[in-house]
Chain A
Amino acid sequence: MRCPSFEHLSRRALLKGTLATGAGGSLINWGSLFNSQVIANEVKKTQKRCILLWMNGGASQFETFDMKPGRPTGGLFRPISTNLAGVQVCELMPKISQCMDKLTVIRSMRTSQVDHPGGIHLMHTGYAQAAGIRFPEIGAVIAKYLGRDGSDLPNFIKIFSHGNTGAGFLGPKYQPFSLNPEGRLPTFSTSSLKPEIESRRNSLRNFVEDIYARRHKAETVRMHREAYEAARRLQNVQSVFKIDNEWEKYRDLYGDSAFGRRCLMARRLIEEGVPFVEVGQSSYDSHADNFVWHRALVPPMEHAWAGLMADLEQRGLLEHTLVVWMGEIGRTPKVNNRSGRDHYVRSWSTALAGCGVKGGVVYGESDKDGVDVKDNPVTEGDFFATIYQALGIDPDTEHYNGVRPIPIAPFGSSVVQDVLV
């Protein structure tokens, strides 16, 4: 099997690390060559990961990536040229228009759930809701396959969380850890006790739990201990969540918005090795006043998104980080009498960038009014299969819910090979 070059440590980094480690005494931690900070950093860099930019409520394809200028469905915005010859996007996205060489835009999404709860479940799991089965979110799957056991940071983090499916049948180990809309830690995650008191309390709890665990072999006991352990480890990395100083430096790059701060936080977490971070922006459900809503929501979003990709690229992380842009639904071609667009899933758009996907690709096509997919329809299953493939996870990998095999991308899904490197 051929591995892309970025999957390997660079020779320069290996040498640098080896030499630095070999220099011996100057390093505190010198037991193993691969414990050197340089190599550890390089390993962190090459680890695959994913950032999901979640447009809650369903951003309009007509006001982003699939404009229909001059058509009755076209709306009020005008297209602008991009750095991809012959491709136009909405004028609300001037910064993303200059990143199109890094993006794969899919203009032919055709999905199956037209309402919000169903759509949010579908586009977080790849599956429609089903009685008796709790499907895992994409973040949980990625946490399982790309996460690091024993990491101080959680492997699945949501900033301004949407959807509550969580780890589903994968179990509590892969449950998401949610930050608030400001990207701050939830209050329960910070101890109000002095460290020495906290430590004594931990010892006592461990002692009691050890006794309990010897008598009760239940899985929940182990999970409870793991959860406490994860919370305790989180205390070691509280500084990662404090972005005020860095924000001053990066405000212009990400744009002065709450979504921009969340994206900066996502980059910090990714840089620290978190394999999956979801960043949400809400309020796209524009049944009324679609155009002014998008006029307010899209510019800060696209500014932050473009800034995030530039920052990831500058740090050498973009080629290992898949950035997924999507919501749960698209919006109707017809503008209703509230100047709004309603829910629509027969033809809408998503975008991918970074790890494993080509840049400068517009895949699929909708018809002249954006009513239906004209070429290359992509279902939710195909989309998820493609994401997993891009991240090096076999989409046919099966889990078992009881005796029932459940692949991580639904049976019959096809990877959209044309968009993958």
Chain B
Amino acid sequence: MQINKPTHRWQLNFEGEWPTSVTFLGDSRRVAAGNRAGQIFIWELPETPPTVEPVAEKSKESKRSTPPDLAPIRRLDGHSNSVTHLVSTADGKTLISSSLDRTIRLWDVNATPSGSAEVVLDSQDRVRKARYRSKDEKAAILEAPGIKVETVSAVAELKGHRDWVGSLGFSRDEKRLISGDATSLVIIWEFDALAPHCKELARWTGHPWNWVVAAALSPDGKNALVSEYTYKRDDFDIPAAALKIWNTADGVERLDLLKLQFPKLDVASTTYGAAQVWRKFVAGGLIAADLSPDGTIVAVGQGGETDTGKVHLFDVESGKLVRTVSGHRYGVCDVKFSADGKFVLSSGRDTMVRICLAADGKEVASLGKERGGQFKDWIHSIAISPDQQTVAGADIAGLIHVWQL
């Protein structure tokens, strides 16, 4: 990854329910994104974005230019509740999605379409554009036909979970998947790219009250990082979080990172002061996780609505906290390592993507700008293109942002 002068290349409308997940499909010009209604769309971006003339929404405003929008070409139909994560194979042929509908689905993104549909993904944008227009112009804008997309069905559906599947990870060798649900169940899957299909290899559960809020695999798929958390069940509950490294072959725990961090802390019977230290570290759950490409460093992001969400970096071998980097006001949403392991990218509830050096935690670039009132919108998910020079972000305001680094 080389950071030059980041530019905002595309701003794709994906209105309706919140976009929650995004990934690249094989190269930097093919993007898939899912939302909270369970929809997944695919965009194919041309090499060069068209030039967009700056416009002013109100007559007295100075003209502003926003990056161009483009219609998606395909919709992947099947999920009936929020898509939580999207991962794809390096060749971009297979997309894997997890969902609150308790399933994981595998998609052949190039499959012959099963049908077509007309969709409107810019209804709020239309309302904005229609302001201050004449009645006829307004009607023309609001009632304009939608876009036509091909629809595609999943090639496989994994039904091993019986509750919300909130976590999904894919090993870099593309042989194993990890998924975790709201009953603390973790499943390790063997991925068969040819079928494509997955076979269950191992499963285990954590604390019965906890949910798996983040999961990631080492590059060879042999180690799994699992973050558990439960929101408080009562006013005085201390969040029962766990952050552990497991052996994926047999589901045996290898390292308890939080135990190493707080060796003397007993969550069940602790003092108020110790609980505060714990809360400060865990925040609203370590809800985003990634392993460095060499498998030596773990990155986990503090989620929930917290003061300033940070990313903790742990050494996998010793389990020790290496450093804490980044800082998203109100919490982190996603975290990713660059392919060379030099950078940690994180997104959060401050409408920002921050890029920090893994070596010293220094922030070297930020994408986007803080937007909204006291509480900003969220960049719910980020993706890095295979060539490492493009970053995409799923913005809950109904946008998919694409930045060139």
Interface residues, chain A, with chain B CB atoms under 8 Å away: 76, 78, 160, 181, 257-259, 281-283, 288-289, 292-293, 295-297, 299-300, 336-338
Contact = CB atoms under 8 A, between A and B. Distances in A.
Interface string B220-233: 00000000001111
Contacts of B304: 288-289
Given A78-B81, A289-B284, A299-B233, 11 more contacts: A160-B235, A181-B236, A259-B234, A282-B234, A293-B231, A295-B211, A296-B232, A297-B232, A297-B233, A337-B378, A338-B375
Interface of B: 36, 81-82, 100, 164, 182, 211, 230-237, 284, 304-305, 330, 349, 372, 375-378, 396-397
Given A76-B82, A289-B304, A338-B305, A258 B232 contact: no
Top 6 A-B residue pairs of the complex, sorted by shortest distance between their CB atoms? A282-B235, A296-B231, A288-B305, A258-B234, A300-B233, A337-B377
B234 A281 contact: yes
A283 B372 contact: no
A181 B82 CA distance: 36
Nearest to B36: A76
Nearest to A258: B234
Given A282-B234, A297-B233, A300-B234, A76 B100 contact: yes
A78 B37 CA distance: 12
Contacts of A297: 231-234
Contacts of B232: 283, 296-297
Nearest to A56: B235
By DSSP majority rule, is chain B's interface helix, strand, loop, or mixed? loop
A292 B236 contact: no
B230 A296 contact: yes
Contacts of B211: 295
Contacts of B376: 337
Contacts of A160: 235
A292 B305 CA distance: 12
A275 B231 CA distance: 34
A258 B82 contact: no
B332 to A, nearest CB: 14
Contacts of A300: 233-234
A206 B372 CA distance: 66
A58 to B, nearest CB: 14
A72 B392 CA distance: 26
B284 A258 contact: no
A416 to B, nearest CB: 31
B396 A257 contact: no
Contact of B235 (A76, A283, A292, A295): A283
B305 A295 contact: no
Contact of A337 (B164, B284, B396): B396
25 contacts: A76-B82, A78-B81, A160-B235, A257-B233, A257-B234, A258-B234, A259-B233, A281-B234, A281-B235, A288-B305, A289-B305, A293-B231, A295-B211, A295-B231, A296-B230, A296-B231, A296-B233, A297-B231, A299-B233, A300-B233, A300-B234, A336-B375, A337-B376, A337-B377, A338-B349
B302 to A, nearest CB: 13
A289 B306 CA distance: 11
A282 B234 CA distance: 6
Contacts of A338: 305, 330, 349, 375
A293 B305 CA distance: 11
A389 to B, nearest CB: 33
A45 B72 CA distance: 67
A336 B305 CA distance: 13
A338 B349 CA distance: 8
A181 B237 CA distance: 11
B233 to A, nearest CB: 5
B273 to A, nearest CB: 19
Contacts of A257: 233-234
A289 B231 contact: yes
A152 B342 CA distance: 71
A289 B213 CA distance: 14
A102 B375 CA distance: 42
Contacts of B284: 289
Contacts of B164: 295
A17 B396 CA distance: 68
Given A76-B81, A258-B234, A259-B234, A295 B182 contact: yes
A80 B170 CA distance: 33
B127 to A, nearest CB: 14
Nearest to B239: A296
